[in-house]
A = this chain, B = another copy of it.
Amino acid sequence: MTETTPTTDPIRLLTSLRAIREYDGRPIPDPVLADILRVARWSGSARNDQPWDFIVVRDRETIARLAGVDGSAGFAAGAPLVIVIALAGGLKLRESYDEGRVSERMMLAAHAHGIGANTGWFSPTGGAAVKEMLAIPEGKWVRSMVAFGYPATTGRPGKPDVRKPLAEIAHEGRFGEPFGTE
């Protein structure tokens, strides 16, 4: 089951975030959006470069167009809020790492309010289309967005949440030595 109940247990907040891809029609309240952006602003980045711009899209028609460009953002067509991330610095690994960090923080901020979110990806041609659509300048790089919305309660049941067992991914001291804390 997806878990979207707000929680004050920080570890539970961090372990219970799931990708939510189907939303009901309710808009995101302004104070929640303010929290999401405040959290984004305070995210860490390599050398504190803060290589990001956030384009907040709430116009439903524009969101439907964003969902339709080449990539994997089609799920977001009915979302009430999309934040497109424009990165300085081009297609580099470090910026991609920072893009992941700030996306994760925004999704956690939404989750703290019981709101679901998911990353949508653009192909290179899709990203170019988004740049034109949102008037994003030449020097910026657009590869992803985050869609937000209250989870649909009438959608098809989600896939079961699966993760590899800790014994398979955690190693003690060197690769291949079983990790023994739990």
Contacts and interface: CB of A to CB of B under 8 A. Distances in A.
A interface, over-half SS? mixed
Given A50-B169, A109-B14, A166-B37, A44 B56 contact: no
A70 interface: no
A69 interface: no
B53 A175 contact: yes
B53 A171 contact: yes
A181 B97 contact: no
Contacts of A97: 96-97, 99-100, 103, 144
A121 to B, nearest CB: 8
Contact of A166 (B38, B99, B100, B136): B38
Interface string A52-77: 11111111001000000000000000
A7 interface: yes
Contacts of A107: 44
Interface in A28-47: 30, 33-35, 37-44, 46
A140 to B, nearest CB: 8
Contacts of A8: 8-10
Q: Which 5 residue pairs of A and B lie closest in terms of their CB atoms, listed nearest first?
A: A100-B100, A10-B112, A97-B100, A96-B96, A100-B101
